[in-house]
Structure 1
Amino acid sequence: MKKIFFLLITFVALNTFSQTDNLSNLKGNELRNSIRLNYILVHQPNIIYQNGHELDPTMGFIGLNYNFPLNDWLYTGVGFHAAITGDQGGLFTLGVNLGVNKQLYKNLYFDANVHFGGGGGFRSLVNGGGIIYPNAGLQYKAKNYSFGVQYGYVNFFTGIQKSDNVSFFVEIPTSLRSTTYADAQKTFINNNQSKDAFWTKPAVKSVQQVTFDYFFPFGDSRTDASTTPKYKPIDHTLSVIGFEYQRYLTSNTFIYAHVDAMYAGLTAGFMDLFMGVGKNFIETKYVNFFGKFGMGAAGGRIYPEGGLTMYPSVGADVKITEKFGLSAHGGYHRSIGGTFEAYTAGFSIKYYGLSGGTKDPFSNEEATSIKTQGIQIGVQNQTYLKVKRFGLTPEETYRNLQLIAIKVNYDLNHRFYIAGEASFAYEGESGGYAHGIFGLGIKSNRFANNKLSLFAEAAAGVAGGGRVDSGEGVLVRPTAGINYHVNDDLSFNFSGGQMWSPYGNVNSTNINIGLSYGLSILNAKK
């Protein structure tokens, strides 16, 4: 027993070892990225359903895009879109962007891009869920922001929902200071002797948190037509899990983005997305009281509405360590112009970050060291074979689904990592199906001239929509695969596994192929 214990301690120690070096030996890189918010007005098909429901003529579609440059004129990124007006509440899409941005005259630029992804709301309109959105227009760039107008064509190419349109956007520049993935999981001492101007810039203060919330609907809150009877009142607790990113603008004011998915209380399929602002009103060394107000989109498995939703909340944090804390909060989730409303209560696990510089951006306190945190960001095409769907004829019950996935791996050390993933269907007659999962992964050392490595992951999360028979949405998916490393940062990956829903009837073989880009975030330690 003592030998086993000794071997276990040795194994953990070896895998948590990080090299210590001088900060002047670390070469940094600043990625000048951007956050783009756009509004698209989409014309709807002229349809009257058997129950007499007639589609609203237009749908308001908002987008949240994070883009980063590939060179001086070419960029790529990730985009998330959601319906906020019309009667398409619950329509969400996720995809990737590829665009061109060229200066025409002084502050005036030509901007064009193509967005490809998957998602959906009314399945009869989007069918498989695939969306392609080419657009082009003009952009005016000021120092700290830009705005523009574009002409485009929203095309759910697997269905009948498609329309040309004029869209408007606002773009906010941001930056990410990092270094190569080869330098991940190292510690660099800050001795204030570096002459590199890169290290004189302040760090970015941020918070990431996983949230666990409970909704208590009241008033005229109702289900959609998937229940028996249709549109019945919701008078029970709904359970949701979410993720939130906060970035501080001042020492006590922050902006944030928040996304939720429901895993109990209704047939799987409810989601929401919010962007907002928050403020810490009372702060001590260990306890913090805050308030937030978010606006965004919500829907799925509730009565068809426009989607626009507000979500004010208040809460308190308890800081357990320098990096981790717990939070309790409550709020009011309200559909604007609709019927769904609920009081909310929940808790979250928080991670406090100070990255990209050697000093606190507000107190100017110098960090004693910089730890390089390895992160890999990837995009995948995922295939799920013979996925069971409900409420259909025997011939229509099983379909092979194609999903587009955005994946992030957060290294714990050189061996283990935390994996997070969001995936949306774009083919397979299940438009609107999506899942979000988290898990633990393990990877091998590289072999075959440092070109190959193996990995395995065990993940669980929430899934639903598109008539996929996942019950209330809980999903489990183990996978294993192989990486081909092009260089220290870029790799291609292939994996396979099994997806099943413990409270539903999905049990599907899964095949994934994709690419990943690795980098090291610079985390400051005081």
Structure 2
Amino acid sequence: MKKLFFILTILIPSQYLFSQSEGIPKKITQKGFAKIDFLSIDMPLNPLGIDDPNMGFTGIHYNLSFKDWYTGIGIYGAITGNKGGFFTLGVNAGYKKLITNKLYLDTGFHFGGGGGAGAPDGGGAFILPHFNLGYHFKNFSINSGWSYVNFFDGGAIKGHQINFGIEIPLNFEYAENKFGEKQYNLSDFKNSTWNNNPQRNSLMVHFNNLKIKGNTQGINNGKTIKLAGFELTSYLNKNWFTFLKVDGAYDGIRAGYMDVFLGGGYHYTLNNNKTNILAKFGVGAGGGGGIDSNGGFLLYPDISIEQQIFKDMYLSVNKGYLLSPNKVFYTSTLGLGIKYYLEKNGIKTFNKTFNEGKFKGLDIIIKQDWYFNAKRMENPTEDMHQISLQINLDLNRNLYVAGQTSFANFGNAGAYAEGLVGFGIKSNLFFNNSTKFFTQIIGGAAGGGNISTGQGLIIKPSLGFDYQLSNTLNLRASGGYVKAKGGDLSSTFINFGIKYNISLLKLK
């Protein structure tokens, strides 16, 4: 329980209470920024007594800003060295102080979990404090300085290094979550702050097949990796977009393969907006599960064709390639997905099919899982802990879809990770409008860290409750059961965490 108390004190961010508005829900602007950073970590001697090359560690973060303070989440992956497939997930907290109009100091702290690629990561828990000097340009800022990494739960990775980062302001707008599922005519918004151009986003759940090739893949050469994952897209204008794509293996090879990509593309529409062709290119990190991806840096060119099946829902088929720059690892890709488009937070649209706006609830949850007696392939069975990020989107007042990714941080399983999707049902409010109960079932890819998940497919039902602390913040707790198909993992679990909940205006 000391570990849970330590983690919860780190996860709880500063929050503000917002007053209730009458009539049309008030639009609230949350300041924030996205960050990409890089550090080169000195690795310890490997078991053969040979000095491993430095691991190039790059992170993608999003932080909420509260005056001089900030807090958020970040995911890191190896892109250089020989630890391809090394990934972590964690939470950020920090403080910025202007020295001049442009120059600033930034001191912060990252706590997370993860590992992989045969690295001495122990249980996976690590800390990464930093002290940086930064400079603001017109549309972005850069910073650099000292940082220190320590995989302190039995790991051997630790040391000081210089870090480099680039930040882009990225605010978002929302209404309080209590307005979720409330619906209005577009004319009701004419004299409100919602009377602006909508922002287009999409969310896709997909399955991908990778045909493995390359000179160093050994017994994996020629095999097909079956992946499950999701893709988030944000449109810059009518045609150009950016995307974040995350996948994990559930069949075809030993469990543990994962990849993460950030990129952009071009969207071309035909057939009266019923058919889309998308060309994409991404860069990112991948590896694990016995796949040799060298340092982990991968390229991802792809083309997709989408066909409308409902008003906002499309069936997507994609074909492309995934490869390391030197082609030591390269695959052809073929995938199938379901994509949901969302025109949000504005009503000025030339699309005459939209005549109403509905507020849809969105939950962002950071929690700590505790698996009891998590079965191992070789080592003695023991409990395992992991840090987890879950995102829920309401389909209606009581039904939601969920996506979750998790990384081990205590319990001698640092390379273990999960990528899951599913559905949940939640109750109305009880106990003086303070508490909601929920049940959910999620499943997908999991593996690594010597945990016995077979080829990687798990299912994870649970029951729990949320207790409201403020208009945007809830305490969350649940318990359930996790079972691996084809592996020995069969454990009860509990988790505790924090839920940040808002609602977005969706055109319909």
User: Normalization by structure 1: what TM-score?
Assistant: 0.88
Bigger-Rg structure (1/2): 1
Aligned-pair identity (%): 35
Is 1:106 the counterpart of 2:101? The answer is yes
Identify if the C-alpha distance between structure 1 residues 523 and 447 changes in structure 2 by more than 3 Å, giving closer, same or farther.
same
Q: Cα distance, 1:293 vs. partner?
A: 0.9
2:236 maps to: 249
Partners of 1:221 and 1:314 lie apart in 2 by: 27
- In the TM superposition, residue 349 of structure 1 has moved relative to its aligned partner by 0.7
**Which of residues 303, 319, 325 is equivalent to 1:336?**
325
TM-superposition CA deviations, 1:249-270 (whole Å, max 9, x none): 1211111111110111111100
Match for residue 55 of structure 2?
59
Please give the secondary structure, in 1, of the residue aligned with 2:219.
coil
Alignment partner of 2:107: what SS?
strand
Give the direction of change, closer, same or farther, for the CA distance of 1:367–1:142 in structure 2 (3 Å limit).
farther
| Residue 368 in structure 1 maps to residue 355 in structure 2 | yes
Deviation at 1:346, TM superposition (A): 1.1
Separation of aligned partners in 1, 2:101 and 2:381: 56
What is the letter of the counterpart of residue 219 of structure 1? Answer: G
Q: Is the 8 A contact 1:23 1:194 kept in 2?
A: no
Flag the 1:282–1:453 CA change in 2: closer, same or farther, 3 A: closer
- Determine if contact 1:241/1:263 at 8 Å carries over to the other structure: yes
Q: What amino acid is aligned across from residue 167 of structure 2 in structure 1?
A: E
Determine which of 330, 334, 348 is the counterpart of 1:345: 334
Which residue matches 1:433?
416
2:170 is paired with a residue of what secondary structure?
Answer: strand
CA 156–504 in structure 1, closer or farther in 2 if over 3 Å, else same: same
Q: Give CA-to-partner distance per residue, 1:280-310, whole Å, 9 cap, x none.
A: 2453421122211111111102126100110
Q: Which moved more, 1:300-309 or 1:503-512?
A: 300-309
Q: Look up the SS of the partner of 2:128 in the other structure.
A: strand
Q: Distance in 1 between matches of 2:277 and 2:297?
A: 27
Tell me how far apart the structure 2 counterparts of residues 154 and 250 of structure 1 sit (CA, whole Å).
39
Say yes or no: does 1:410 pair with 2:402: no
Structure 1, residues 154-177: CA drift from partner, whole Å, max 9, x if none?
Answer: 111120111211111111122211
Structure 1 residue 142: Cα displacement? 2.6
- How far apart are the structure 2 equivalents of 1:124 and 1:147? 30
* Contact 1:83/1:91, CA 8 A, preserved across alignment: yes
In 2, the alpha carbon distance for the partners of 1:296 and 1:208 equals 19
2:484 is aligned to 501
Change (3 A) 1:62 1:296: same
Q: Of residues 301, 304, 308 in structure 2, which corresponds to 1:319? A: 308
One-letter amino acid of the structure 2 residue matched with residue 287 of structure 1: T
Q: How many angstroms does 1:135 deviate by?
A: 0.5
Alignment of 1:176-191 (within 5 A): 176-191=172-187
Distance 2:23 2:430 in 1: 31
Q: Deviations over 1:365-384 (max 9, x none)?
A: 79532210011111111100
The Cα shift of 1:356 comes to 1.5
| Residue identity opposite 1:252 in structure 2 | N
| Partners of 1:359 and 1:365 within 8 A in 2 | no
Mapped to 1, the partners of 2:41 and 2:181 lie a distance apart of 46
The equivalent of 2:42 in structure 1 is 43
What is the alpha-carbon distance in structure 1 between the residues aligned to residue 418 and residue 28 of structure 2?
33
Report the counterpart of residue 157 of structure 1 in structure 2: 152
Change (3 A) 1:156 1:422: same
1:162-181 map, 5 Å: 162-181=158-177
Q: CA deviation at 1:119?
A: 0.4
- 2:453 pairs with one of 465, 470, 481: 470
Aligned position for 2:222: 235
User: How far, CA to CA, are the matches of 1:407 and 1:258 in structure 2?
Assistant: 15
Pick aligned residue for 1:88 from 63, 77, 83 = 83
Match of 2:7 in 1: none
Partner of 1:454: 437
Deviates more, 1:500-509 or 1:104-113: 104-113
Q: How far did residue 442 of structure 1 move?
A: 1.4
Which 10-residue stretch deviates more, 465-474 or 401-410? 401-410
Cα distance per residue 1:21-74 (max 9 Å; x no partner): x996221111122111111111111x1434x7x3433111110001112x2111
Q: Does 1:261 align with 2:260?
A: no
> Helix, strand or coil: the match of 2:120?
helix
8 Å contact kept, 1:291–1:313? yes
State the Cα deviation string for residues 136-191 of structure 1 (Å, max 9, x = none). 11222233222111311111112011121111111112221110011111112221
What is the alpha-carbon distance in structure 2 between the residues aligned to residue 262 and residue 91 of structure 1?
A: 15
Match of 1:358 in 2: 347
Q: Deviation string for 1:295-330 (max 9, x for gaps)?
A: 111110212610011011112111223311011111
Q: CA deviation at 1:194?
A: 3.8
Which residue matches 2:15?
A: none
Which position in structure 1 is the counterpart of 2:275?
287
Q: CA deviation at 1:271?
A: 0.4
**What amino acid is aligned across from residue 385 of structure 2 in structure 1?**
Q
Q: Displacement, 1:436? A: 1.5
Q: Distance in 2 between matches of 1:357 and 1:55?
A: 55
Which residue is equivalent to 1:271?
Answer: 258
CA pair 281-177 structure 1, distance change in 2 beyond 3 A? same
- SS of 2:156's equivalent in the other structure is coil
Q: Summarize the Cα distance change of 1:281–1:124 in structure 2 as closer, same or farther, 3 Å threshold.
A: closer
Offset, 1:199 = 2.3
277, 280, 285: which one aligns with 1:297: 285
CA spacing shift, 1:233–1:451, aligned 2, 3 Å: closer
Structure 2 length normalisation: TM-score? 0.91
Describe the superposition over 1:435-493 as per-residue Cα deviations: whole angstroms up to 9, x where unpaired: 12122211222222222232111121111010111001111111112222223432112
Q: Residue 77 of structure 1 contacts residue 98 of structure 1 at CA under 8 Å; is this kept in 2?
A: yes
Task: Mark the runs of 5 or more structure 2 residues left unpaired by the alignment.
Answer: 1-20
**Alignment partners' CA distance in 2, 1:304 and 1:191:** 54
Contact 2:250–2:445, Cα closer than 8 Å, also in 1: yes
How many Å separate the matches in 2 of 1:414 and 1:200?
25
Equivalences for residues 217-232 of structure 1 within 5 A = 217-222=212-217, 231-232=218-219
Aligned amino acid, residue 171 of structure 1: E
How many residue pairs align between the two structures? 485
Which amino acid in the other structure matches residue 475 of structure 1? I
